[in-house]
Amino acid sequence: MTCLRTTMVGAAAALAGMGLAAFCFGADGPASRPRATTTTAPALAATTQATTAPLPPLPPNPKIEAAIRQLSADSWKDRQAAQELLVTFGDEAAPRLRSLAAGATDDEEVRTRAAAALRLIEENAMVGPSTVTLKLKDAKPQDVFASIARQAHTEFLTTPSNLWQNGALPAVSFDLERVNFWTAFKEICQKTGIYPQQGNNDRRMTLQQIGGGGNTFWNGPSVISGPFLIVANRIYRSNSVDLANPANVQHEFNIAFTVFSEPKLRVIQSSYYVNVDEAADEKGNSLVNSERVYGSINSGQQWMWNASARLNYPENAGKQIARFKGNMKFLLQTKAETLDVPDVMKVKNVTKTIARRRMLIKEVKQNGEQYELSMTLYRDDMPQQEWFALQNPGYTVHLLDKDGRQLTSSGWGGGSNDREMNYTWTFNRNVWNGRQEKLGEPFRLVWEIPVETRETTINFEFKDLPLP
């Protein structure tokens, strides 16, 4: 039988229409990761270990009570500042705000502001930036990551699965109060030597101990925009001449970025290119490229992307990019339902309808060491935006063995038109989680299907970047 479970998850990106489309990603295509708070039916058994150490409840915070008292201050600015401050306490302030909004006070403005702050806290828990407080002395890394996972509405897997049993991991101390997730997470990684990795072509953020100075992808200048971290990696400029046509001179001038989203977010699609709002050197020369940039869509479904911004190199250029302002668009899943098909090797040309999405599960067939899953999705009367959200299912489709362990996705591809989409996914039973392991044969098909999405734009700015 087919099981359904509804899932509320994370935030945002924009898509324009796609008519006839064809696409294919290989084994090195975009990786992805499902979030811990998502209910997949049944839950995917991790081949790595989650940071699920229990944490004691937080003691009452007098700063929250002080901010609540300010909600009835005489000054509008003080009342507004108190409301905004309460949002930064996140889940810690939610019980008190819920009580006030429900009528624990006779002050109507306090009730109204408490309800407004609570709504923003609940929205941030799904699609907004997480705020983290860490007051820890000589703590185990496992407890530190468990604390930030709880506050950021996620969990982290580890590889190898017994990472936390490594007696050589250092004890660490932190004194951080209501800082952005990425500020805290980067510091934790640098102090513990444990860094996030993408692997096995799935959505999850996996923690791994890295020697030799750790990962380098955070080493460039970086800025935080809501739940996103943007790192400027490289500026490059080149000229080339086509010797068969010497008049054909090509100029390339780009900035390469890496963009990270908080692991709680369910990014469905993202853009490859950064839209440049402003770029100028210290002489005032504009570096904005006026040539049209065609939007390209990444299937998303991960927490790290490579992106680039095209620029124009002027005559008499200066020595640095004095100011660069850009933006990127993302489509994030905010609600999903899950397709769950057991005994999938026995399924042949079976039609299922999940959340008004009609699909044909053709078969799962073995091809040597690989297993190929073929499906067709039908548009029927589906609105345009919902149809686009299904255009790039990527690595959200899973095959599980009888023990609930997730087979490795080694690629997917297909083609679509205005009426239907045809897909083929390839899986294998070999899993690496600190050691090579071979899983059982496919038994269950699980697919988390987005039914509600939100489009968001992240804006960011860099200053004083050197020019080549």
Place of tokens 């004095």: 322
C-alpha to C-alpha distance for 468 and 466, rounded to whole angstroms: 7
- What share of the chain has pLDDT > 90, as a percent? 54
Nearest CA among 184, 156, 151, 173 for reference residue 58: 151
Q: DSSP letters of 219-266?
A: -S-EEEETTEEEEEEEEEEEEEE-TTSTT-EEEEEEEEEEEEE-TT--
Which tokens go with 414? 């297909």
Is the model's pTM score more than 0.75?
A: yes
Give residues with Cβ within 8 angstroms of 289, minimum separation 6.
253, 276, 310, 311, 312
The pLDDT value recorded for residue 212 is: 65
- Whether 55 shows a pLDDT value over 80: the answer reads no
Domain with CATH 3.55.50.30 in the chain: 131-209
Contacts of 443 (CB under 8 A, 6+ apart): 342, 343, 344, 345, 399, 400, 401, 402
Rounded to 5°, angle at Cα 346 from 344 and 347: 65
Compute the residue count for the chain: 468
**Of residues 226 and 91, which shows the higher confidence score?**
226
What's the pLDDT at 380?
93
pLDDT exceeds 50 at position 6: no
Which residue would you say has higher pLDDT here, 297 or 331?
331
- For residue 224, the model assigns a pLDDT of 97
The predicted pLDDT at position 233 comes to 95
Q: What is the mean pLDDT of residues 152-170?
A: 88
Three-state SS string over 391-460 comes to CCCHHHEEEECCCCEECEEEEEEEEECCCEEEEEEEEECEEECCCEEECCCCCEEEEEEEEEEEEEEEEE
Write phi, then psi, for 241 (nearest 5 degrees): -125, 130
Residue 25 confidence (pLDDT) above 60: no
What's the rounded Cα separation, in Å, for the pair 147 and 143?
6
Angle between helix axes 141-151 and 181-192 (nearest 10 degrees) is: 170
**Span 172-187, average pLDDT:** 95
pLDDT for res 90: 85
Higher pLDDT pick, 53 / 420: 420
Q: Which of 15-19, 204-208, 279-283 has the highest mean pLDDT?
A: 279-283
More confident: 365 or 430: 365
Which of the two residues, 321 and 405, has the higher pLDDT score? 321
**H-helix or E-strand containing 329?**
strand 320-341
- For residue 150, the one-letter residue type is R
Q: Per-residue pLDDT for 21 more than 80?
A: no
460 vs 272: which has the higher pLDDT: 460
Rounded to whole angstroms, how far apart are CA atoms 254 and 232? 11
**Which pLDDT tens digit goes with each residue over 261-281?**
999 998 888 888 999 999 999
Mean pLDDT of all residues belonging to the chain: 83
Confidence of residue 416 (pLDDT cuts 50, 70, 90): confident
Confidence of residue 65 (pLDDT cuts 50, 70, 90): very high
Per-residue confidence (pLDDT) for residue 237, from 0 to 100: 93
The CATH number of 62-127 is: 1.25.10.10
Nearest to 252 by CA among 320, 311, 324, 326: 311
Residue 344: pLDDT band (50, 70, 90) is very high
**Structure tokens given for 46:** 């991790």
pLDDT in tens, 231-266: 999 999 998 998 998 888 888 999 999 999 999 998
pLDDT at 450 over 90: no
- The pLDDT confidence band at residue 92, using thresholds 50, 70 and 90, is confident
Which CATH code for domain 131-209?
3.55.50.30
Residue 223 has pLDDT above 70, yes or no: yes
What integer pLDDT is reported at residue 181 of this predicted model? Answer: 96
